[in-house]
Structure 1
């Protein structure tokens, strides 16, 4: 059993970085968050994880921009259902410019459309690649470090709770109550 666990950890350390690179090509948060958590557990290295996530995200966004630039007709057919989002991104590019490129990594639903819209537009590709690399570095560092230190905090909380088993049902009930209240407010807002 111990050999199986050690084999899994060794293979994850080998293949985990490749999986992280591929997942971050699609601008996914989960990959870098999981890498940060595994780094806090000692299964991965946070520095290497941040570099791999940065490279994957930069590569993925750059490919999307180049596809938008050089395969415009084919890529727009693929995004036919998202024409409103592409138009909205064009409006945001005129309004916010550089700030949109730097902060698009954090806006769910358009983070993959921004590079395509920039590729389709007449925006300078060199300027986009530089700003995109800066945005990807900030994204990987910020999300990686937050997940690394947040998992350390959660581990401390669980080690404290493990000594006091009566706290777990109380915390569960409090969280359940919070979720119930939020769902109730959301459902009321949705029907009004």
Structure 2
């Protein structure tokens, strides 16, 4: 088994990509053939039927939108809160493990295909050297660095077991921090979503401005950290 695992690891990135393509093809097929009318109803039906599977895959991609949906389904009783956190955390853990092993066993591929990300890789190395394991714990909240940091750590001699342990705890914390507030404020969020559905012409620009503001703020904060770390080094 260990020998098989060792042989598979260098192809982890390709296996990950193929798996995602097959999974989303499966979802698209079931969405199209859902025994209800309307896209909204079909999507809700799919979430209720394959909720935990979708949540795991969404967790691998570290998409907070999937965790928000899990929080709402937990609020309505269509998901178990604790199981949702557990599954979402496992998905986040699995995704970063794949990125880590891409760096560990596909160094030539990384250097060849991530040339435009060299500055971010340099920053990731500096942050790991300066802060140690906490950077693994918080990397999920660093916009633009979520993929780079696990890969860059894989490129180093950092312990795979230590990375996996910290990564798992971090993933479960990330899932809980996102899902629990949505579950708790479920009624209020559902009211807002219903309003947005009825007033979509107002909701779209508001969401765009609000989302753009958050992305701008996070991006600006990340660049400040990058500039400070590079200067201090």
Q: TM-score, normalised by structure 1?
A: 0.74
For residue 69 of structure 1, what is the aligned residue in structure 2?
104
1:114 aligns with 2:149: yes
Once the two structures are superposed, residues 141-178 of structure 1 have per-residue CA deviations (whole angstroms, 9 ceiling, x without a partner) of 1111122123334357899x9xxxxxxx9xx8xx97xx
- Cα pair 1:37 1:147 within 8 Å, conserved: yes
Look up the SS of the partner of 1:4 in the other structure: coil
Which is greater in Rg? 1
- Structure with the bigger RCO (C-alpha within 8 Å, sep 6+) is 1
Deviation larger for 95-104 or 146-155: 146-155
1:4 aligns with 2:41: no
Q: CA deviation at 1:14?
A: 2.4
Once the two structures are superposed, residues 112-132 of structure 1 have per-residue CA deviations (whole angstroms, 9 ceiling, x without a partner) of 111101000111111111111
Distance 1:8 1:27, change over 3 A: closer
For residue 90 of structure 2, what is the aligned residue in structure 1?
55
CA RMSD of aligned residues (A): 3.2
- CA–CA distance in 1 between the matches of 2:94 and 2:128? 21
Deviation larger for 73-82 or 55-64: 73-82
Q: CA deviation at 1:41?
A: 2.6
For residue 68 of structure 2, what is the aligned residue in structure 1?
33
- Cα pair 2:68 2:178 within 8 Å, conserved: yes
Matched residues, number: 169
1:129 aligns with 2:161: no
Structure 2: gaps of 5 or more residues: 1-34, 217-233
Structure 1: gaps of 5 or more residues: 162-168, 187-192
For residue 146 of structure 1, what is the aligned residue in structure 2?
181
Deviation larger for 13-22 or 41-50: 41-50
Q: CA deviation at 1:8?
A: 6.6
Distance 1:51 1:158, change over 3 A: closer
Q: CA deviation at 1:19?
A: 1.5
Q: TM-score, normalised by structure 2?
A: 0.62
